Amino acid sequence: MIGKETFHKISYVFLTLFFTLSPFSISLCQIFAGLSIFFLFLDHLQKRNFPKFPLALIFWIGLYLSFLITPIWENHTIDWKRDIVKSEFGDLWMGFLLLHQPYLTNWEKKRLKKAVLLGAIFLILSGLLSLFSPYRLAPYVMDGFRYLEGKRLPHIMSIFHGISLYLPIGFQSTHLTYGGLIAIYLPPLWEITFRLFQRKNITKRYWKISYLYFLISSLGFILLFLNQSRSVWIGLIIGSLFLFLRQKHSFKSILPRLLAFAFLILVIFTIVYMTNWLFQRAIDDIFAKRSLENQRIWIHKMNFSILKENFLFGIGAGNYGNKFIESAIPIVNNFPELYYDLYITPKSHAHFDFLHDLILGGVFACVFFSSFLWVTFQQIFSTKHLFVFYLGIFVIVIAGSFQCFLLDDEVLLPFMGILTLLPSRKNQNHKIQIENGKNHFPNHLWRYSFEKANLPFGIILLWILTSLMTTFLWSRTENKDLVLHRTRTKDNFPSPLSQLSIGAAKPVPLPQNTKDWYFKLSGCLDKEVNFRTDSKIRKKPIQLKLIWDSDFQEHFPNSIRVEIRKRESFDQDKEYKVHGERILKTISLPITGKDILVSVDPSDQLQKEPEFVDFGFWYEWEGNTAHLPRIQILGNCD
């Protein structure tokens, strides 16, 4: 016979498994979360009452319902699979984890926090394992602990004393997902470590446990650094400032400490940037005009183009990719050379949580999302001694200005799970004092949280608005200024000095006694292609010009050979492999003292798919003061 609390206990067990095993598998994560919600409803069905919806959940439901306004308003036929199940709207159910919040007892929440700590340890151990593993852990384990040819391999970071180190991603598919999980799971470890060291008359046993937690927390911090989730780094720095706001002091009194903290972080970043190549590369990619990871300017150009036309009600769930392409087509019509950049740009989301919601649901989504944050912050600030435990919530919200963490199931589910552990105003286990026939609820805690949450909420809103303004101004960059013909070495690494010679104002000096120099120069596609159209053979020749400045005659090469090359043009990130290249022919250019035009017929050795026509330059000098000639190449190689 089923007892009165049987379904509640089963739901609690699945919630425990959810927290513990989330770092290993998104499928397990979804199954356990879904089962915990299912048995919660069965519990209420058995007790014949309707579950109480927390205010945060009501706003979360309102946010997702706003994604359906446009399809309903414009009388679109809503496809159940496309618009509901497989779109952003399909993530609505994850918010129902918040239903646990008012029904979990204080004892159960305390036990679940221990499950979070266990999950954090598993997450860090899996990250440590992936740091040394030449294979991605998830597919390697799923394929029976063997590597299948064609599976994507992890990114190698460096070789330290003969040991290969790889980008730590645990059992996750991307480093951003792992970074998001670290941001959620690491603060609980910090919180328990700090509390253990604060114990008075601590025993030898607790000292060992304290140092063990300190070691694991430190490993987690190192993995977060090596993971290169720059958005999480920024979120953690800004989120940590809220710890100062927890103090019962005026802003004026804590301002010196805030400034000192900011200065310390700046000094550490500067030192690490000057001494660590990995960190330097991560920071430089943010400001690079084009890098293997930097298509955000195109994402935000499309974002604001879409938003401009659909600000009030949004575009609705499941329509972002199509709207992106619709906005990109006119750009490619005017600048054909930008097709490839737009083609390889991710089109699944806006890379900005708040902005993505705004694009989908318009001003209604803006109101509901802001209200959800406000209620959540109020609850977090009602926790006097466990604030650090929930620090990851602030980190994810702030980091969401750079990535759509709340659209990633592997991050969103633990995010919602952590929120279920927040204290609830209507907790079943709360003792209400009854005096003179009236219920007296201790509201002083909630008045305190209301006052304390004002400033952090204002800071978050200011951060979001500043991020919106920054990305908007960035997106105003002229399209023609984003065209770049990149130079590479023989081994396909960037060639900075060679890059300076492309479109330069004067020849580029090379190191003393340079006798030869080789680099590749990316050209243009051999076919004309746009989204939703078939490709056709390019009619105009692909050409460039070497500018022969007479004033630098004695510094120019005595021999110039040019390789005419072709390179594949598929999306390397999707295919999990690099472009294949081949040399069509090599020609020697005559040294006449005049400008030299290099022209290529794009139809030479034509393949089924469009390919890049590239160039390889081999310079040789007899003198000791070598300079690279200027190369003039137009955007579309006309």
Map residue 542 onto helix, strand or coil: strand
Candidate ranges 275-279, 351-355, 457-461, 471-475; pick with highest mean pLDDT: 351-355
Q: Are 498 and 614 within 8 A, CB to CB?
A: no
Per-residue model confidence (pLDDT) at position 446: 46
Q: What is the average pLDDT across 221-247?
A: 81
Q: Where are the beta strands (DSSP E) in 111-178?
A: 156-160, 163-166
Per-residue model confidence (pLDDT) at position 265: 65
Q: What is the average pLDDT across 405-422?
A: 92
Q: What is the average pLDDT across 549-555?
A: 87
Per-residue model confidence (pLDDT) at position 608: 86
Burial of 509 (C-beta count, 10 Å sphere; 0-12/13-18/19+): middle
pLDDT tens digits, 116-129: 999 999 999 999 99
Tell me the pLDDT band of 476, cut-offs 50, 70 and 90.
Answer: confident
pLDDT tens digits, 562-591: 999 999 888 777 766 778 899 999 999 988
The torsion defined by the Cα of 29, 35, 41 and 44, in degrees rounded to 10, comes to: -110
Q: At 464, phi and psi to the nearest 5?
A: -65, -45
Q: What is the average pLDDT across 409-413?
A: 91
- Give CA–CA dist 118/105, Å, rounded: 20
Question: What's the helix, strand, coil split of the chain in %, to 5?
Answer: 55, 15, 30
Per-residue model confidence (pLDDT) at position 430: 44
Q: DSSP assignment, residue 533?
A: S
Of 20, 91, 7, 99, the closest CA to residue 52 belongs to 99
Chain-centroid distance, C-alpha 142:
25
Q: How many CB atoms lie within 10 A of CB 144?
A: 7
| Torsion over CA: 461, 467, 472, 473 (sign) | positive
Tell me the pLDDT band of 617, cut-offs 50, 70 and 90.
Answer: very high
pLDDT tens digits, 151-208: 778 878 777 778 888 889 989 888 889 999 999 999 999 888 888 877 766 666 677 8
Q: DSSP assignment, residue 494?
A: B
Q: DSSP assignment, residue 147?
A: P
pLDDT tens digits, 284-334: 555 554 444 457 889 999 999 999 988 889 998 888 999 999 999 999 999
Mean pLDDT of the chain: 84
471-487 b/e (C-beta count within 10 Å ≥ 16 → b): beeebeeeeeebbbbbb
